[in-house]
Each structure stands twice: as C-alpha cells, then as structure tokens.
Amino acid sequence: MSESQSGGGWVKLWRKSADSDVFADPHLWRLFCWCLLRANRKPRQVLVNTGRGSTVVTIGPGQFITGRKAAAEELGVPQSSFRRRIEKLEKLGVITKKRATHFSVISVVNWRVYQAADDEGEPTNGPTNGPTNGPQTKKEEKKKESKRAHAFVKPTIEEVRAYCLERKNVVDPQQFFNHYESNGWKVGRNAMKSWQAAIRTWESNDFPGGGQTKKPEPIKYRA
C-alpha cells in the first residue's frame, strides 16, 4: 500500500463484521480490509498517469484510486480474481466503483458512519451492509452506554395509568398522555427526561387533573 495515497494512520473494525457475508468468505474479507487500508481519511487531489499524460483526480474520505493490474500485483492474485471479487463486494453494497479509462475510484460505503473520530480529529467512516468497522475505547463505550441508559423512552398510556394508580393520585392518565404526545414529549422547550417526574409535577402543580388525593375531613358531631 502506498503511504502517499492512504496517508498512514489506522482503521477500525467492529465485532459485527464476523456476522457479515464478507467475513464468511476469506478472500472477500481480505479484499475488503485492503480497501479500508487504502481508503483516504481526508479529501485530497491525486495525480494519476493516463498513458498519454496525467490528470488530477479529487477523492474524498473513504475513497482511493487503483487499477486492476496494480491492485492484483499488490494483493498477489490474478487480475481476473481481483475483478471478480471487487465486483462481488460492489454487489454486496459495501463498496462502489467509478470506472475511468485508465483507473477506478473505489469508495467504501458509509465510511463516515463506522470510523469513529479519533484523538487526531480524523473524520468518522465505514460500511453498513457488509463488515462494520470502528472499535471504540472503553471510555467512549461507557459514555455511549450511559447515554443509552438515560435516553428518554416514551411511555404507553398503560404505563402512565399504572404509575398514577401506584401513586394514588388524581392525575388523569389520558389527559397527561395526550398533552405530551401533542407537544412531542417536551417540558417547555426541552426534551423530557423522565415522564414519572412529570407526573409528580402534575400532582403538586395546578395542572388539569392534577393535585394529590385529598384525605376526607373527620365528621364532627355535636355534644
């Protein structure tokens, strides 16, 4: 692989890659990894020889320029094998290939999606249909897990009703549900974080149907 085209650095692989059709074929998997290693991380212009001269080609992140002969030599396979396998990757939807007379521009599909940004501030990239790539640090994984754990999940009307019964309040579950369903589950301009907390607010504030259940006053008898 030429340092001038890839720009050095490293790429990332997801464990989900092991479940892909590409991973199931060792030849396709090797070729796909080669594409990841060849792909550029930043937009750049490349001078390409065309036989009668040269031309400047602009390529973006996740793209690289190659020719069938040069690629086959680099991979140590016959040109026919390279052509057949690269076409199969294209059919599987993990790469696209734009053909020119003397070269091809290969793009890794969804490169930005799966190559998470690293400490050097590189763009994020990778494919979805085929092998997914992009291991994360433990700190990043914990941060994402924490966000998922605290992500707001809209309740069902049954959950609202059950919670109101549990708290023995007089909040109208249907009215509460309809109110927030109509405004996209927002409190003011902010997204709701806890619908249970919202119900408790309805209990204590002057919302329609809100207010704690009042205890009956004792009956007074005359002496």
- Run of H or E including 36: helix 26-38
Residue whose tokens read 């199969």: 88
Quick one: pLDDT at residue 220?
A: 54
Helix (H, G, I), strand (E, B) or coil at 50: coil
| pLDDT of 160 | 92
Q: Residues of the chain with pLDDT > 70: what percent? A: 73
Length of the chain: 223
- Cα atoms found within 13 Å of the Cα of residue 129, Cβ hemisphere only: 11
* Residues 88-116, mean pLDDT to the nearest whole number: 85
Q: How many CA atoms lie within 13 A of 181 on its CB side?
A: 10
What is the distance in angstroms between the CA of the first residue and the CA of the last residue of the chain? 103
Give the pLDDT confidence of 130-142 residue by residue, as tens digits. 444 444 455 666 6
- Comparing CA positions, the residue from 27, 69, 32, 29 lying closest to residue 51 is 69
The mean pLDDT value for 84-98 works out to: 92
What three-state secondary structure class fits 146?
A: helix
Tell me the mean pLDDT in the region 14-22: 86
Q: What was the pLDDT predicted at 1?
A: 40
The rounded distance, in Å, linking the Cα atoms of 160 and 64 is: 54
Which are the contacts of 40, defined by CB distance < 8 A and separation ≥ 6? 5, 6, 7, 59, 60, 61, 62, 63, 64
CA 3 to chain centre: 29
Half-sphere exposure of 56 (CA within 13 A, CB side): 3
Spell out the alpha helix ranges (H) of 42-170: 68-75, 79-91, 111-114, 138-149, 157-167
pLDDT above 60 for 191: yes
Residue 77: pLDDT above 60?
A: yes
Confidence band (pLDDT; 50, 70, 90) for 47?
confident
